[in-house]
Chain A
Amino acid sequence: MITNNFKIAWRNILKNRGMFLLNILGLAIGITSCLLIVLFISDELHYDRYNKKADRIARVVFRGKVGGEIMKEAVVMAPVAQTLKDEIPEVADATRIRRAGTPKIRFENTVYRNSRFAYVDPNFFTIFTLPVIHGNNVDPLGKPNTAVLTESEVKKYFGNTDPIGKELFVDDHPTPLEITAVIGDVPENSHFHFDIFASMLSYAPARSTSWTKSNFFTYLLLREDVQYQQVEDKLPLVVEEHMGPQLKAEIGMSFADFTKDNQIGLFLQPLTDIHLYSDFAGASELEQGGDIRYIYIFVAVGVFMLCIACINFMNLSTATAAKRSKEVGIRKVLGSEKRQLIFQFLTETFIATCIAALAGILITVAVLPLFNELSGKTISLSFIFGYETVILLLLLIIVISLAAGAYPAFVLSSFAPVNALKTRFFTGRDTRGLRNGLVIFQFIISAGLIFSTIIVSKQMSYIQNKNIGYDRDQILVINEATLLGNNEKAFRNEIRKNPLVQHISVSSYLPAGPSYNSMAGIFMNGQYQRRMFFYDVDKNYLQVMGMQLALGRNFSDDSGSDSLNAIINETAMNILGLQKDPIGRTFVRDTDQGGQELTVIGVVKDFHFKSLHRQIDPLIMRNRPYGGLIIRTKTGNMSGLIENIRQTWNRFGTGEPFSYTLLDDSFRQTYRAERNMGHILRIFAMLTIFIACLGLFGLVTYNTEQRLKEIGIRKVLGSGVPRIVALLSKDFLKLIVFSFLIAFPLGYYLMNRWLQDFAYRTGISWWTFVLTALITVSIAMLTIGLKSLRAAMQNPVKALKAE
């Protein structure tokens, strides 16, 4: 029986090759999308799960609102870790990370500059699961001036020789570091990635007792069965007790007075929430994380794709039902029970689904590299063949077989044999409502996705074209110019001779991409105001960046005389209440060595130096030229100029590799997540409408088959082809237009929420709706039109003869 089922299923598939391919194609695309999305989500959800104690680890973070400034830091003060461990019994242990960038590191005669370096407390490896694979696995960082390297880092420095006991010289670190152990590379899905972990014991600031300077990522290991909220509840008291006295000493206000108008405090963030829920991105987060909202979007898209593919299957199967009704009739007369017929039809769906799944896997394998590129992931092929994926696939096959096959199977098997044997017999009038509903559903999703895609692109082009207050085109940044040491000035003078170089500014502060970042508290008239951003620049900075002065003057040539002067941006001017006559006014910048009085000599027009997700922050520029080179160029041949500068660099350099960035690239990089999202959304939107159109094609086929006789009669009576095409298309068009009624408000609501996330955003205008409607309708009409045209052009005699 079962072999017979398979046999007939296979022959039916071969017989209806075209329809079958449509079916398979739609399903395969649905399955591929689903697989990719599952791989993506599972990767996202497994962040930091490699830690055996992941569920017991929480990070201490700082949040506050001071003087109107929302403050949030993923780093906290140096003594927090030890204090919490000592004073809160639920905390079993605490450890810290101090990020130290990519310092210059020397081994024997070779210098490296690309090792991600961090100081960690000696107990770090007992809390995080990063097993030692070679060397001291008991207490590798227990002594000062020790370091643990990752496996690939060891390869870089030492090749295949044993690294244990070797010494590395690190810039800014007085004594060499002795390598005590090697660990495996930090897993891809970790919220931090370092290559060298040095012992915190050799890092003096770690012993600081200051409760006002945040620099340390601090992680608590909670005792078993402790909820992190229990610990969080105890934090305000600890903060008041330790921070209070220091705050009073610094700003002259008691903790109680300070917290009347301001809020500050420490909070906990479970380790496993960091990647998807952390809101510290752009502030002090270790790495750009994911976003739980994108996970939801992906889940929705995945489910939608699958639904649409299943709906297609149902619709296309019922479309071919007419052809099968005779067979159903015969089989019933020959003694088949309904159950056996249902089973037979389900077998067919099952085979089709298996083939689709197979195709889906092949497509997934083929497009995985592209998907990785788009999503910024490194999902490996082996993951597809992991047992989880296999189980998921089996489940998918069963669910799809049932979902897509059940409806047609029951419809087909319920044909009464006497009716089914009549030459031209169709059921379906009673199920038309359901089918229409399904089509509407498909087009709600298609139109909704197209709409969303348009909005995302619109916002991206808005960002790209928005006047951001400076000119990011044709700016070349050589951030590591300081590596040239004493040759830097000569190098600068040399490249200045190049006629393609317009101006050069010396600063490491950039409004886009990796930049120095510093903030300091501001006092005015003895009153603490709030913290503001500081830029250390030179007199060429404004000119190179194309920033405009609103008031006052730029820094003058003689840097000495301007060293206590400042240029502030408009936001700072407004916040400090200096709208009337700001020039010549003074304020005090808080420093470690007490206050520094600065005089305002100019106001720069606001420019965006953080992402457009947020409002412009107050900013103060000081005349302190040091750091990298920012070069304004005028050339269509940027790569030629860069090559030229590279040669100059090599002449002056000390063997350091030349590296540069283009400011515009850095700017684009800032919105990479949104851009990727946009790309992925666009692809899924296209796939969705494609599958939906496959379904539509099926339905039109079904419909025209049903109405072949009507078409024949109309033609005999003299109707022209266009009128018949219109007749056949009208009903579908109605459904699509109806789907807009739901898709538009829904899309508007959702995309409006997405846009709220940008402080600066484009609007949703009427033409977006019109464009969506036009795209959807024209694609659908193309599908319907082709099929209807064929039906309308058919010789009417053929249709009528069959009766």
Chain B
Amino acid sequence: MLLQLSNIFKWVQTGGQRTFLLKDINLTVEEGEFISIMGPSGSGKTTLLNVIGMLDGFNEGTYNFMDQSVHQLKEKHRSALYKEYIGFVFQAYHLIDELTVYENIETPLLYKKFKPAERKALVADMLDRFNIVGKKDLFPEQLSGGQQQLVGIARALISKPKLILADEPTGNLNSRQGEEIMERFKKLNEEGVTIIQVTHSEKNAAYGSRIIELLDGRKVSS
């Protein structure tokens, strides 16, 4: 078991009223799964993903990640935890505009204090694996959307995470580029990486092994 959410509630206080973003979410994810979270706009998909990624907190419930109680951890330990095990992929790619492809991929290693030689080897390896060696000195704005997302995935993978969280990774891409990205995820999953993605597309969801459907912050099926 990789992670387990039990009775997770998250709300915001507006006036005297609580508006629930997540209601009583229970979810267990095993290692090697490929899960797709689906649901209409505003159903809480991204919020759930952020909670899993520890970027966002919750108000009630318990969250265990690799046998650690996330809800009891201090901010510092929590960030150490996701730094170590989780990679993020975003709809808008979120590459750092001022850094080249090479440097973008390298950045997580800097924060994990890898030695220069190690960094060089790891990044070279990753560039090779994604076939973007020729683009390593380009800046994000010089790449197509699909290429940018590839770099985003490469960056997420560089620190060898156990879990990849992808928030509509193909949302900004055309269908051909989207397929490429999904194929890439499938391959990664086959190599043993656990993946949780948020998606609107049934077609993309089909790549996964399990679908979780949300409506108004509540899990309606899994």
Contacts and interface: CB of A to CB of B under 8 A. Distances in A.
A417 B88 CA distance: 12
Nearest to A4: B110
Given A331-B107, A418-B55, A12 B79 contact: no
Nearest to A326: B94
10 contacts: A1-B113, A11-B99, A327-B98, A333-B88, A333-B94, A334-B107, A334-B108, A335-B82, A337-B79, A418-B50
A418 B56 contact: yes
B96 interface: yes
B138 to A, nearest CB: 14
A340 to B, nearest CB: 7
Contact of B55 (A1, A11, A326, A333): A333
A334 B155 contact: yes
Given A331-B107, A335-B108, 17 more contacts: A1-B113, A4-B110, A11-B99, A12-B98, A15-B97, A15-B98, A327-B96, A329-B94, A332-B79, A333-B55, A334-B107, A335-B79, A335-B83, A417-B55, A418-B55, A418-B56, A421-B90
Contacts of B56: 418
A367 interface: no
A330 interface: yes
Contacts of B79: 332, 335, 337
Contacts of A329: 94
Given A333-B88, A334-B111, A335-B112, A8 B98 contact: yes
A332 B111 CA distance: 10
Contacts, number: 54
Nearest to B158: A334
Q: Determine which residue in A12, A334, A336, A337 has the highest number of CB atoms from chain B within 10 A of its CB, and name it.
A: A334
B179 interface: no
Interface string A416-440: 0110010100000000000000000
Given A331-B107, A334-B108, A340-B111, A421 B98 contact: no
Interface string A1-29: 10010011001100100000000000000
B103 interface: yes
Given A4-B103, A333-B55, A421-B90, A11 B98 contact: yes
Contacts of A12: 98
Interface string B147-177: 0000000010001000000000000000000
Q: Determine which residue in B50, B90, B98, B113 has the highest number of CB atoms from chain A within 10 A of its CB, and name it.
A: B98
B110 A330 contact: no
A8 B99 CA distance: 7
A12 to B, nearest CB: 6
Nearest to A336: B111
A8 B110 CA distance: 13
Interface in A312-344: 326-327, 329-337, 340
Contacts of B88: 333-334
A327 B103 CA distance: 14
Contact of A1 (B90, B96, B110, B155): B110
Contacts of A335: 79, 82-83, 108, 111-112, 159
A340 B111 CA distance: 8
B198 to A, nearest CB: 14
Q: Determine which residue in A333, A340, A417 has the highest number of CB atoms from chain B within 10 A of its CB, and name it.
A: A333
Nearest to B50: A418
Nearest to A12: B98
